[in-house]
Amino acid sequence: PKVVTLPGDGIGPEVTAAAVAVLREVAPDVTIEEHAIGGGAYEAHGEPFPAATRDALKDADAVLLGTVGGAHDSPWNKLPRPLRPESGLLALRKALGCYANLRPVRVQPGLEHLSPLKPELARGVDILIVRELLGGIYFDGDRKIEGSSAYNTMRYTTPEVERVADMAFWAAEQRKGRVTSVDKANVLEVSELWRRDVQALRDRKYRGVHLNHEYVDSVAMLIVSDPGRYDVIVTENLFGDILSDLAAVIPGSLGLMPSASLGDGPGLFEPIHGSAPDIAGKGIANPAAAIMSVGMLLRHGLSRSDAANAVDRAVALALRAHPTRDLGGTAGTRTFTRAVLDAME
């Protein structure tokens, strides 16, 4: 099998190197091919998602992404929109047809103290957020800024809703069997369609799954004040962007949060943290999320769940023995990675 790696910007290359070391260890037969994306790709090739990268995806079995983007005041942010690093990321998602972004939010036993929430609220949290990734206000072509007015369009069609809802129900069947669909149906027509179609799919195909519908503002509250109530959450692109980042703070460090984006073609696996340009190149970035993304890649991208479990177990051990700075420890990227590799033996 072939895995394309896209290290990207900031700490992306460091954490991807760590993740690749782990991947080589557990799956030595995998061919790894590295390509450019994001701001670095723009610098080198004049665009954030170069043709060579796009071509390489054609026969890939899975894609491992670092992270893209520069600092808040990076000149990249002043480029015309299609040349910015984020546009490379959106184009990549589109090219891969990854319509469902899966983000597990799990508080590891013994690490409750890292959470900004009280330990009794954080303990045992285990949520899977399924975010629609290719539709809605992100991609709709009906958008414009001109003079003193601007607009974007949040649009969905039934097939777009159904395919991501299907993924959520499928995932719920292997978990606690509960799905919360999130919308703003008391105000938006597009949410009315969303709610109707999610419910219809449940009634048609997933009668064993318990489905309820909640408003996005209410979920933003409850995910913080009572996170234990959720199993699988499914929602549209923009709400998912906000809620999945929000939920990601519960475990206490973004350095612990992997993600998988799945669809028709090869899956895309990436840590959810940003490029953290302030600490890039210092050897202190926490590679756990990137390594856990390898776990998701092995499970969902290459169907190797034994190897995936081995990675997950090794990361859990390393986190206890050699916590990185964001976790209140002192381990650097290299030490932590070494600890994961050692724990796998």
Binding residues for a copy of itself (CB under 8 A) = 77, 84, 86, 90, 116-118, 121, 137-138, 140, 142-145, 148-159, 184, 186-190, 192-194, 216-218, 220-221, 224-225, 238-239, 241-243, 245-246, 248-249, 254
| Residues contacting 299, CB < 8 A, separation 6+ | 305, 308
Residue 193 interacts, among a copy of itself, ligand IPM, none and using kind-specific CB cut-offs from 5 to 8 Å, with a copy of itself
Token pair belonging to 263: 């669809």
Q: Which is nearer to a copy of itself, 73 or 264 (CB)?
A: 73
Task: Give the x/- contact pattern for ligand IPM in 153-182, rule: CB under 6 A.
Answer: ------------------------------
Separation between Cα atoms, residue 87 and residue 105, nearest integer Å: 26
Q: Which of 148, 174, 186, 212 binds ligand IPM (CB under 6 A)?
A: 186
184 included as an active-site residue:
yes
Is 217 tagged catalytic? Answer: yes
Three-state DSSP at 77 gives helix
Nearest alpha carbon to residue 170 among 232, 257, 213, 214:
232
Separation between Cα atoms, residue 299 and residue 291, nearest integer Å: 13
Question: Judged by CB under 6 A, how many residues of this single chain contact ligand IPM?
Answer: 6
What's the rounded Cα separation, in Å, for the pair 247 and 259? 13
The active-site residue out of 9, 42, 99, 184 is 184
200 interface partner picked from ligand IPM, a copy of itself, none, CB below 5 to 8 A per type: none
Q: Is 217 in the site for ligand IPM (CB under 6 A)?
A: yes
- Pairing outcome for strands 267-271 and 62-67: parallel
**How many whole angstroms separate alpha carbon 105 and alpha carbon 259?**
10
Q: Identify the CA nearest to 76 among candidates 45, 40, 37, 49.
A: 40
CA dihedral angle for residue 68, residue 69, residue 70, residue 74, rounded to 10 degrees? 150
Output the smallest distance, CB 217 to ligand IPM, in A: 5
Q: Is 86 in the site for ligand IPM (CB under 6 A)?
A: yes
Residue 169 to residues 8, 79, 128, 301: CA-CA distances in angstroms? Answer: 32, 40, 11, 19
Candidates 56, 64, 89, 193; binder of ligand IPM (CB under 6 A) is 89
Looking at the Cβ atoms of 48 and 252, the one nearer to ligand IPM is 48
**Which listed residue (138, 156, 206, 230) is catalytic?**
138
Alpha carbons 259 and 293: distance in angstroms, whole number? 6
Query: Has 230 been annotated as catalytic?
Result: no
Shortest distance, position 311 Cβ to a copy of itself, whole Å: 26
Is 189 or 342 the residue whose CB approaches a copy of itself more closely? Answer: 189
Residues that bind ligand IPM (CB under 6 A): 86, 89, 186-187, 217, 241
As annotated, the active-site residues are 138, 184, 217, 241, 245
